[in-house]
Amino acid sequence: MSTTLYHGEPNGPSLTVLAALFAKEVPAELVRIDLARGERHTLACAQEPQVAMSVEGEGPVLLVEGEAMTDSVFLACYLDDVGPGAPLRPADPYGRWETMTWCRQIIERTAPAAACLGCRAHPPEADAAMLQRIGSADLRARWREIMAGNFSEDHLSDSRTKIRLAVEKIEIRLDGRQWLMGTFSIADIESYAWLAGMVSLVPEAFAGRPRVTAWLERVKGQPAVTKALSLARSADPAAVWSVGPEINRWG
Amino acid sequence: MPDVTLYHWEPNANSGKPMLALMEKGVAFNSHYLDLLSFDQHAPEYLAVNPQGTIPAMLHGDRVLTESTAIMEYVEEVFAGPRLMPADPRDRWRVRWWMKFMDQWLAPSFSMIGWKVFVGPAVRDKDPKELQAAIERIPLPERRVAWRKAISGQFGAEELEESRRRVALGIRMLEEELARRAWLASNQYSLADINGFNLAYGLPVVWPELSNDELTPHILRWLRTIYARPATKACWAMGRTSMAKRVAILEQPQITPGQPA
């Protein structure tokens, strides 16, 4: 089966999919694209609805037998289904429900907050021609706002709160356990991928959180994560950001 | 007594997803109807079950499950009955992609307009003090904002326009996808169709100029096929409001643009 992964620096959604790919030992051709310059929009599949309208924003694209697939948590579920490596989700349905609801919280609350703070500190930059190629009007609008440096104080403070709440939730969850779902899973990878870059940007969220601090090191030390991070071309991949999911429009 | 209890509102949107999934699987459940318009979901009895005060929630044995889409996946995995997830991993990915796209991008736009035209007016005439107290009991800050906006009709022109843009684009995307195959995400009826029906069953009533047999024949074919399923009929029969009863439009053999709904 021909599989190609178009990915950026190992941070955020690219880190999730690279780590899942390595953990599951799925053979794939790896193709580097600069997500922070909008290069996803130059791919031949860029106007496919699943690429153009991906809720995740500028994430990696997995091309399997010509079908372009996006959204990192679901790509990790797919890789978990097809690869021979150790399972990345619990075997029992309740544990799988916990994994999916955990990841949904990260996708919906933590990821937009992290992308906002990450992009403010390390702005992505696409040229006018690249912006023209973006198929989704709301994604293009987010690019424009970010490149113009339009971050409202409300938005920033809400984002910091969301990071603090996510870290607090992980600290509580890790009471008496090494991994969020008992064994190393997609929930650990996805949570780490969005939060690793927040340690330097929202240090107060991590202060006095010994279990989270130890867990971050543990995730980083997992062979699949280490291997994904070894693909970094920058000194600190956790400081490389592109436009992420939108903050909930309402409710 | 079944060991499943579902706390739900109308067969519509998030409540309708696990209702229909359970009924398709043939799983008996205790139905616990919460009247969203009377704020039952923020009453102490329900907050004891789900402290977030979101609907739906499902009790299975002594476990409490929330998040409608994740509940559907649980229902699919834990109970026997017809398979509602395809076996092929790539098809499963597509089911999840569409569910997330609907849950996070399209449904909030439908719902903003639904709250403006249905939920807001339905509760606005209540005693203002009672309403204020009801809003203060809402655990999630985002939901407090949403309720305040709905009640006072404070959705801005710009955000409503953006919601209308998304509704129109979402309808085009659904039509294109359903022109490719019989079902939304794979070649079999799946959780994506259950999710999608909950979102789209009222389309020809609310958006007749965007969704009708001339403009979106594949969406209408899909909605009627799902509505014809016994589980769907039984599920929508549990509806109590005019909102759920809109489903009856799917009994019309032909819906043309401009037709009075």
Each residue of A191-212: pLDDT tens digit?
999 999 999 999 999 999 999 9
CB-based contact, A66 to chain B, within 8 Å: no
Other C-beta atoms within 10 Å of B217: how many? 13
Mean pLDDT of B172-189: 98
pLDDT confidence bin for B256, thresholds 50/70/90: confident
How far apart CA A62 and CA A67 sit, in angstroms, is 8
Contacts of B66 by beta carbon, 8 Å cutoff, 6+ apart:
A101, B50, B52, B54, B56, B57, B58
- Domain of residue A155: give its range: 1-246
Asked if A83 and A26 touch (Cβ cutoff 8 Å), the reply is yes
Distance from CA of B25 to the nearest CA of A (A): 16
A82 touches chain B (CB under 8 A): yes
Q: What pLDDT sits at residue A251?
A: 52
Reported pTM: 0.96
Residue B220 contacts residue B242 (beta carbons within 8 Å): no
Q: Are A3 and A26 in contact (CB under 8 A)?
A: yes
For residue A251, is it within any domain?
A: no
Residue A194 in domain: yes
CB-CB contact of A151 with A116 (8 Å): yes
pLDDT digits (tens, 9 = 90+) for A49-85: 999 999 999 999 999 999 999 999 999 999 999 999 9
- Pairwise pLDDT comparison (B113 vs A223), residue with the higher score: A223
Q: Does A126 map to a domain?
A: yes
Pair of tokens at residue B55: 């609907």
The CATH number of whichever domain residue A24 belongs to comes to 1.20.1050.130
Count: domains in chain A = 1
Taking the CA atoms of B42, B45, B46 and B49 in sequence, report the sign of the dihedral they define: positive
Does A249 contact B93 at a Cβ distance shorter than 8 Å?
Answer: no
Coil/strand/helix, residue A116: helix
pLDDT of amino acid B117: 80
- Tens-place pLDDT, residues A162-174: 999 999 999 999 9
Band of pLDDT at residue B128, cut at 50, 70 and 90: confident
Nearest to A67 among B90, B162, B165 (CB): B90
Contact A245, A207 (CB under 8 A): no
In the DSSP assignment, the letter for residue A184 is: S
pLDDT at B125: 84
What number is the average pLDDT over the span B136-159?
85
What phi, psi does B169 have (nearest 5°)? Answer: -70, -40
DSSP B14: H
- On whether any CB of chain B is under 8 Å from the CB of A172, the answer is no
Q: Say whether residue A156 is in contact with chain B using an 8 A CB cutoff.
A: no
Nearest to B78 among A49, A93, A108 (CB): A93
Mark yes or no for CB contact B90/A69 under 8 Å: yes
| Alpha carbons A220 and A183: distance in angstroms, whole number | 15
Q: Is the pLDDT of residue B259 over 80?
A: no
Over residues B236-259, mean pLDDT? 91
Percentage above 70 pLDDT, chain A: 99
Q: What angle do CA A241, A246, A250 make, to 5 degrees?
A: 155
The pLDDT value recorded for residue A2 is: 93
- Closest residue to A50, CB basis, from B70, B97, B145: B97
Q: Is pLDDT of B135 > 80?
A: yes
What is the average pLDDT across B97-103? Answer: 97
How far, CA to CA in Å, does B119 sit from each of A229, B75, B220, B243? 48, 29, 26, 10
Radius of gyration of chain A measured on its C-alpha atoms: 17
Predicted pLDDT of residue B143: 84
Whether the pLDDT of residue A141 is over 70: the answer is yes
**pLDDT surpasses 60 at A161:** yes
- Which of B78, B104, B176, B180 is best to mutate for the A interface (most A CBs within 10 A)? B104
Q: Around Cβ A156, how many Cβ atoms within 10 Å?
A: 14
pLDDT at residue number A99: 98
Quick one: pLDDT at residue A178?
A: 98
Is A70 close to B97, i.e. CB distance below 8 A? yes
Q: What is the dihedral of CA A194, A195, A200, A206, to 10 degrees?
A: 160
> Is B173 in CB contact (< 8 Å) with chain A?
yes
Distance CA A37, CA B212 (A): 41
Give me the domains of chain B, ranges plus CATH numbers. Answer: 4-78 (3.40.30.10), 89-251 (1.20.1050.10)
pLDDT at B151: 83
CA A201 to chain centre: 17
ipTM above threshold 0.95 = yes
Nearest CB among B97, B109, B177 relative to A71 is that of B97
Q: What's the length of chain A?
A: 251
Q: Tell me what pLDDT residue B260 has.
A: 52
**Across A73-82, B133-142, B185-194, least confident range:** B133-142
Residue A82 domain flag: yes
**Which of A94, A101, A251 is closest, CB to CB, to B67?**
A101
Sequence-ordered list of residues with C-beta below 8 angstroms from that of A55, at least 6 positions apart, any chain: A71, A107, A245, B100, B101, B104, B105
Return the amino acid letter for B185. A
Is the pLDDT reported for residue B253 higher than 70? yes
Burial of B47 (0-12, 13-18, 19+ CB in 10 A): middle
- Section B73-97 average pLDDT: 98
Cβ-defined contact of A249 to B159 (cutoff 8 Å): yes
**What per-residue confidence (pLDDT) applies to B210?**
95
Nearest to B162 by CA among B113, B92, B104: B113
Q: Do A78 and B100 touch (CB under 8 A)?
A: no
Per-residue pLDDT at B67: 97
Within 8 A by CB and 6+ apart from A248, the residues are: A108, A112, B108, B142
Q: Which of residues 121-150 of B touch A (CB under 8 A)?
A: 142-143, 145-146, 149
User: What distances in angstroms separate CA B225 from CA A30, B23, B221, B250, one per listed residue?
Assistant: 42, 16, 6, 9
A183: three-class secondary structure by DSSP: strand
SS (H, E, C) B101-123: HHHHHHHHHHHHHHHHHHHHHHH
Q: Give the mean pLDDT of B61-67.
A: 96
Angstrom distance (rounded) from CA B101 to CA B166: 11
Interface residue A70 vs chain B (CB under 8 A): yes
pLDDT digits (tens, 9 = 90+) for B149-162: 888 878 889 999 99
Supply the DSSP symbol for A182.
S
Lowest mean pLDDT among A157-161, A168-172, B36-40, B60-64: B36-40
Contact B111 A67 (CB under 8 A): no
How far apart CA A227 and CA A62 sit, in angstroms, is 18
Domain annotation covers residue A105: yes
Give the pLDDT of residue A224: 98
Report the residue of chain A nearest B100, measured CA to CA.
A55
List B29's β-bridge partners, or say none: none
In this predicted structure, the answer to whether residue B46 has a pLDDT above a threshold of 80 is yes
Q: Determine the Cα–Cα distance for residues A23 and B71; give it in Å rounded to an integer.
A: 27
Q: How far apart are the first and last CA of chain A?
A: 42
| Dihedral (CA of B19, A55, B172, B257) sign | positive
What percentage of chain B carries pLDDT values higher than 70? 98
> To the nearest whole number, what is the mean pLDDT of chain B?
93
Strand partners, B5: B30, B59
A206 within domain boundaries? yes
The model's confidence at residue A248, banded by pLDDT at 50, 70 and 90, is confident
